[in-house]
């Protein structure tokens, strides 16, 4: 059977609008062992960031034991099914710290001190002084995929006037941000080429797959049985996203789609549902090699999200200040957040790629901007690296730093595991040139 080029796309028109459907890696695109593309080039490695705000509770986070003998405590327990793809890093601290939320956010994302724009009330207004780590990776991958990077968010921004450090995750430099998209519908439209179009009844009632149905039929005739099953699964995933986002109204208005795909129900955010939609979209974008650099901002630095499924009745940031020790509701919100991270990793793991799965070919820095929110600490920083980095990471390992090493060592480890040959990471007190060899395969 004739090999299929790995850049194969299905293209068509839907009600006059361009529709493009990318394909996942198929056996027909790979070598005989499924370990590389048919032309001998390696399967892609991706780098991403999965971020949540306001830290953790150390007594429930730091694992028992080190190396492969580690055992998760309650806040890491939701990730136990993914421990083979998990590197846990504890004992490290931000070396550029002078103002906790700001220092932690810019320190972990850039390895450098924040750039201060001014002051407000009793605090400061800052931005990132350097590009964030996801954009360092994006610069390395640039030109290899249709999209340079993909930025999405789950829990909505609850407002602060302390600068881009508090509102955005991905930065190109001072006051130059890559805003995270909060709308799954708009992410879908961006990825699949279904931008706003003139009102048309047939467009409102059809799927993006309808535009390429003839090509789908012909493609199935060119590939083997397992690839046909893989294609069916891929197209079912796209259908499921369309159904989850809801069919458009019969008369499609010209202009921007609705701002909120998942409106609050009884005043509560649909956190798990929106996280599932964004996880599906990011997974499809990576599987189809539409991008190799991404960021998921589950919640912002200093987030005021009300994590109601965990029993919260007040904003998380305020609870970190006000709830009495041992802060059981704050602890419950961390557990809930890690359950959502587990959902994201599970979706990546479900997608076959080569002789493994998509998570095998990812390096994902999972972190926050503080250690514990009630004391605003920047030491004992919570850091996870998810994925195997195409064989560059061992996985299933707890590395405990001694002597309070720099968090930048962990970030450089994740960056290199993503296939980015960065000689250093950070600046000033945050600058390092060594990764954590104990985690590397």
- pLDDT band at residue 401 using 50, 70 and 90 as cut-offs: very high
Residue-wise pLDDT for 311-331, tens only, equals 999 999 999 999 999 999 999
Q: What is the pLDDT of residue 201?
A: 30
Query: What pLDDT does 47 receive?
Result: 98
Q: What is the pTM of this model?
A: 0.83
Per-residue exposure over 127-153, b if at least 16 CB sit within 10 Å of its own CB, e if not: bbbbbbbbbbbbebbeeebebbbbbbb
Alpha helices for 309-385 (secondary structure H) = 316-322, 328-349
Q: What per-residue confidence (pLDDT) applies to 185? A: 86
> Tokens in use for 202?
């047939």
The predicted model gives 86-113 an average pLDDT of: 96
Mean pLDDT check: name the lowest of 166-180, 197-211, 352-366, 427-441.
197-211
> What is the reported pLDDT for 198?
32
Counting Cα atoms < 13 Å in the Cβ hemisphere of 440 gives: 15
Q: Which pLDDT value is given to residue 284?
A: 87
Q: What is the pLDDT of residue 220?
A: 76
Choose among 296, 338, 301: nearest CA to 317: 301
Mean pLDDT of the region 333-355? 95
Confidence band (pLDDT; 50, 70, 90) for 251? very low
Residue 35 has pLDDT above 70, yes or no: no
Confidence class for position 26, pLDDT limits 50, 70, 90: low
Domain segments of the chain: what residues? 1-42+197-255, 46-196+267-439
CA distances from 358 to 128, 134, 146, 407 (A): 31, 18, 19, 27
Cis, bond preceding 85 (omega within 30 deg of 0): no
- 115-120 and 123-127: which strand pairing? antiparallel
Instruction: Give, in words, the CATH class of 46-196+267-439.
Output: alpha beta
CB 51 within 8 A of CB 370: no
Task: List the structure tokens of 79.
Answer: 């990730």
Residue 379 CB burial class (10 angstroms; 0-12, 13-18, ≥19):
middle
Average pLDDT for residues 35-62, to the nearest whole number? 88
> What's the distance, CA 254 to chain centroid?
31
Q: Tell me whether strands 397-400 and 86-90 are parallel, antiparallel or unpaired.
A: parallel
- Please tell me the distance from the alpha carbon of residue 397 to that of residue 409, in angstroms, as a whole number: 16
Range in 137-151, 227-241, 334-348 with the lowest mean pLDDT:
227-241
Higher per-residue confidence, 316 vs 208: 316
Q: Reduce the DSSP state of residue 270 to 3 states and report it.
A: coil
Write down the mean pLDDT value for the chain: 86
- Estimate the share of the chain in helix, then strand, then coil, as percent rounded to the nearest 5: 35, 20, 45
Q: Which of 126, 380, 124 is nearest to 113 (CA)?
A: 126
Better pLDDT: 82 or 158:
82
Q: Is 108 within 8 Å of 407 (Cβ atoms)?
A: yes
């Amino acid at each position: 059977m004739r090999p299929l080029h790995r850049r194969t796309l299905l293209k068509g028109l839907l009600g006059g609008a361009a529709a493009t459907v990318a394909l996942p890696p198929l056996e027909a695109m790979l070598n005989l062992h499924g370990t590389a593309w048919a032309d001998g080039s390696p399967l892609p490695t991706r780098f991403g960031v999965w971020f949540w705000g306001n830290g953790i509770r150390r007594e429930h986070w730091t694992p028992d034991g080190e190396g492969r003998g580690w055992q998760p405590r309650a806040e890491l327990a939701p990730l136990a099914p993914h421990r083979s793809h998990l590197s846990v890093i504890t004992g490290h601290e931000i070396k550029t710290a002078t103002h906790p939320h700001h220092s932690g956010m810019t320190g972990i994302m850039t390895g450098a001190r924040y750039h201060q724009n001014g002051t407000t009330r009793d605090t400061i207004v800052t931005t990132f002084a350097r590009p964030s780590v996801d954009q360092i990776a994006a610069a390395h991958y640039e030109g290899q995929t249709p999209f340079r990077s993909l930025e999405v968010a789950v829990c909505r921004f609850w407002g602060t006037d302390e600068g881009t450090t508090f509102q955005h995750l991905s930065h190109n430099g001072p006051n130059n941000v890559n805003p995270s998209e909060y709308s799954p519908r708009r992410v879908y439209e961006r990825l699949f080429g279904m931008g706003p179009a003139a009102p048309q009844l047939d467009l409102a009632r059809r799927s993006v797959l309808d535009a390429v149905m003839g090509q789908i039929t012909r493609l199935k005739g060119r590939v083997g049985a397992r690839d046909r099953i893989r294609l069916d699964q891929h197209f079912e995933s796209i259908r499921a996203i369309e159904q989850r986002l809801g069919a458009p109204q019969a008369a499609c208005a010209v202009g921007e789609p609705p701002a909120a795909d998942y409106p609050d129900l009884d005043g509560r955010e649909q956190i798990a549902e929106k996280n599932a939609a964004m996880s599906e979209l990011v997974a499809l974008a990576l599987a189809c090699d539409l991008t190799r650099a991404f960021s998921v901002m589950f919640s912002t630095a200093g987030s005021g999200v009300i994590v109601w499924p965990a029993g919260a009745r007040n904003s998380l940031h305020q609870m970190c200040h006000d709830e009495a020790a041992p802060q059981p509701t704050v602890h419950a919100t961390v557990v809930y957040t890690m359950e959502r991270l587990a959902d994201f990793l599970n979706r990546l793991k479900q997608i076959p790629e080569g002789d493994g799965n998509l998570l095998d070919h990812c390096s994902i820095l999972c972190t926050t901007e503080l250690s514990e929110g009630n004391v605003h600490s920047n030491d004992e920083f919570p850091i996870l690296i998810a994925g195997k980095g195409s064989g560059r990471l061992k996985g299933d390992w707890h590395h405990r730093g001694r002597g309070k090493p720099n968090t930048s060592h962990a970030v450089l480890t994740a960056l290199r595991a993503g296939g980015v040959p960065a000689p250093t990471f950070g600046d000033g007190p945050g600058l390092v040139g060594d990764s954590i060899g104990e985690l590397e395969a």
